[in-house]
């Protein structure tokens, strides 16, 4: 009788000890080199070892948002290692994609043959259709479709063209410049645009300045035409009186 009691006690102790071990999760964690199945029956066709889950995964572990590899107060999925990236949630339940301390990029990979389609660089630049952003905050390889684009910049808007002290280039000066340079003053040449591209906001500013200058020339021409017509009418009147 004592033998059976002792055996049962040992078995109970082993089960309790095993249960305590599973609950005693640390940063190192409990691990296995085998497949783990949760909410589903084992599938012999799965040969790669890992976690196989049917259902929802609830995060109950916590790690500091914006900090990798440490425990604190935010639910986090992170790769072990001091240089690995994390997927934490902040205090407002926003999901954060965060690289490790080596300041790597975040890649978005899609396609039947998976390849990177978008990147957020360690410098905070975004590339769509390209992984090379240079110094641009947003680099796009392809067409951008938008209903409206608002450009804000600090460049002086060309209202100064209508100021009394503004020196309006004469048409003769413009003709000479065009013959020599094959483009309008202040407007980048085709070679410059092909090499450096064009600043949409700056180009709109330049074009508006040219329109305003052209408007002033038209107003001046209208005055000259009106004066000439008045002289013509006066001459016609004198001739009819003869």
pLDDT in tens, 74-119: 555 555 555 555 555 666 667 667 776 677 888 888 888 888 999 9
- Write down the pLDDT at residue 74: 55
- Write down the pLDDT at residue 99: 72
> Model pTM greater than 0.85?
no
The 10 Å Cβ neighbour count of residue 203 is 14
Which residues are CB-contacts of 227 (< 8 A; sequence separation ≥ 6)? Answer: none
As a whole number of angstroms, the distance between CA 83 and CA 60 comes to 23
- Write down the pLDDT at residue 56: 72
- Write down the pLDDT at residue 140: 96
- Write down the pLDDT at residue 27: 46
* DSSP assignments along the chain, one per residue: -HHHHHHHHHHHHHHHHHHHHHH---SS----SS-EEESS---TT--S-SEEE-SPPPP--B--TT-SS--SSSBEEE-SSTT--EEEB-TT--B--B--TT---EEEEETTTTEEEEEE-TTS-EEES-S--TT-SEEESS----S-------SPPGGGGGSTT--PPPHHHHHHHHHHHSS-TTSPPHHHHHHH---HHHHHHHHHHHHHHHHHHHHHHHHHHHHHHHHHHHHHHHHHH-
Which residues are CB-contacts of 123 (< 8 A; sequence separation ≥ 6)? Answer: 133
Tell me which residues of the chain have a pLDDT lower than 50.
1-27, 63-72
- Write down the pLDDT at residue 87: 59
- Structure token pair of residue 122: 């360690």
- Write down the pLDDT at residue 36: 85
- Write down the pLDDT at residue 91: 64
- Write down the pLDDT at residue 11: 40
């Amino acid at each position: 009788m004592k033998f059976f009691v002792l055996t049962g006690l040992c078995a109970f102790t082993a089960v309790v000890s095993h249960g305590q071990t599973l609950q005693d999760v640390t940063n190192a964690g409990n691990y296995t080199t085998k497949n783990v199945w949760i909410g589903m029956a084992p599938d012999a066709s799965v040969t790669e070892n890992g976690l196989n889950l049917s259902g929802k995964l609830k995060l109950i572990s916590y790690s500091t948002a914006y900090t990798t590899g440490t425990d604190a107060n935010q639910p986090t999925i992170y790769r072990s290692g001091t240089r690995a990236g994390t997927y934490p949630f902040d205090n407002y339940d926003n999901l954060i994609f965060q690289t490790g301390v080596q300041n790597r990029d975040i890649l978005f990979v899609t396609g039947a043959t998976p390849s990177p389609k978008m990147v957020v660089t360690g410098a905070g630049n975004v590339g769509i259709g390209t992984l090379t952003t240079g110094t641009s905050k947003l680099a796009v390889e392809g067409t951008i479709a938008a209903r409206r684009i608002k450009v804000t910049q600090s460049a002086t808007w060309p209202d100064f063209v209508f100021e009394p002290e503004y020196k309006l280039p004469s048409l003769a000066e413009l003709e000479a410049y065009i013959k020599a340079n094959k483009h309008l003053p202040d407007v980048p040449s085709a070679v410059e645009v092909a090499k450096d591209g064009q600043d949409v906001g700056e180009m709109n500013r330049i074009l508006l300045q040219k329109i305003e200058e052209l408007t002033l020339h038209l107003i001046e021409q209208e005055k000259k035409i009106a004066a000439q017509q008045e002289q013509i009418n006066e001459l016609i009147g004198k001739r009819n009186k003869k």
